[in-house]
Structure 1
Amino acid sequence: MAQVAEKNRVEELRAESQEKKVWEAPQNGWVKCNVGVDWNREEKMGGAAWVVRDLKGKVMMLSRRAFFNTGSKWEATFKALMWSVDSMASHKVNRVIIAMEDKSSVGMIVRPKAWPNFRFEALQVLKCLSKIEWWRIGGEERCTNRGAFLIAQSVTKGKRYYSYVAQGSPSWLHALFENEEIKSSV
């Protein structure tokens, strides 16, 4: 019986790990800002994007930007985080969850004592975040941050250096964002 129970548990764990992870919506009254970052070592350039979505996953607005003379992936990530937070404040986005893949960027804000080497950067981000009344920051996996990452990658790989802010999703990613929207049961 113990062996059968163990075999069933292993099969359950295997099934859970194979479940497709999906974009997680914010709670009612909040929006989610997914931040994507890509870095091109040869050109020393970072590409960044942010995508703001509502609780149903509908893209409200997005932006992308190139960062030139960027010496490392960390520098590109930090610049992208600062730019994203500043953009949320400039666009008067409140009750926002900022979600990104880089664990150190999230960690330096939510657990500063565990990330003492990033104290200066954390203080800069927190100063910028103080312009937003209600905010949260959290980690995101690549598979659930795909849209923002692909837009950031369009800068570094697609050489689309011009910045823009737009409402709705870009036509070339419309299907991806639409598939992630939460369908109403009504």
Structure 2
Amino acid sequence: MDWSSRGESMGASWIVKDEKGKVLEHSRRAFSEVKSVGEAKLQLWLWVLESMKSLRKKKVRFVSSFGDLIEAIEKPTLWPALQYEAGEIKRELQAFEAWELRIGSWSTIRCASFIAQSVRSLGPTQSYVAAGHPRWLDQFYASERSAFGD
């Protein structure tokens, strides 16, 4: 996500990959009147979870840079202040046959971050879901494919 307290706006995105790392779908969305970074994180998570349910994904590994929320879900005693958010996310996770949460590094979420940043930097407010990856990120996916040996 890319959130700004000045405009109370946020750009968000998600990317779905298969087990080999190939991008199957991606999405972008603009949010408005987002008052805090905590609210931004929760809105993003709820949107991602709803999107995965709408796409009928059954078994999902969620990779996020929000280590605080992931730890609040997995180790609630470490993050008592985030129990409302963790509870909302856990309730939505019950819709999946199997799920896993992972904390991702910058390199694992960079393309999703670039897509989210494009909402605020370029101004497109049209939300979409598309097959594959955005063509303007070809260079990043080409280097990932070579790392996978494809």
Does residue 135 of structure 2 align to residue 183 of structure 1? no
Aligned to 1:133: 97
Unaligned runs of 5+ in 2: none
Rg larger in structure: 1
Aligned mate of 1:160, from 116, 124, 129: 124
Listed one character per residue, the Cα deviations across residues 160-181 of structure 1 (whole Å, up to 9, x for unaligned) are 1110000001110122123213
Identity %, equivalent residues: 34
After the TM superposition, which parts of structure 1 deviate over 6 Å for at least 4 consecutive aligned residues? Answer: none
Mapped partners of 1:110, 1:124: distance in 2: 13
Which has the higher relative contact order, 1 or 2, with Cα contacts under 8 A spaced 6 or more apart? 2
More helix, by proportion: 2
Aligned mate of 2:24, from 50, 54, 60: 60
Listed one character per residue, the Cα deviations across residues 28-83 of structure 1 (whole Å, up to 9, x for unaligned) are xxxxxxxxx11122211111100001122110001111110011222211111111
Mapped partners of 2:36, 2:64: distance in 1: 17
Q: TM-score, normalised by structure 1?
A: 0.76
Aligned mate of 1:48, from 12, 19, 32: 12
Q: Secondary structure at the match of 2:143?
A: helix
Q: Are the counterparts in 2 of residues 56 and 183 from structure 1 also a CA contact under 8 Å? A: no
AA in 1 matched with 2:138: H
Where does 1:11-160 land on structure 2 (aligned, <5 Å)? Answer: 37-160=1-124
Mapped partners of 2:19, 2:66: distance in 1: 23
Unaligned runs of 5+ in 1: 1-36
Mapped partners of 1:38, 1:105: distance in 2: 17
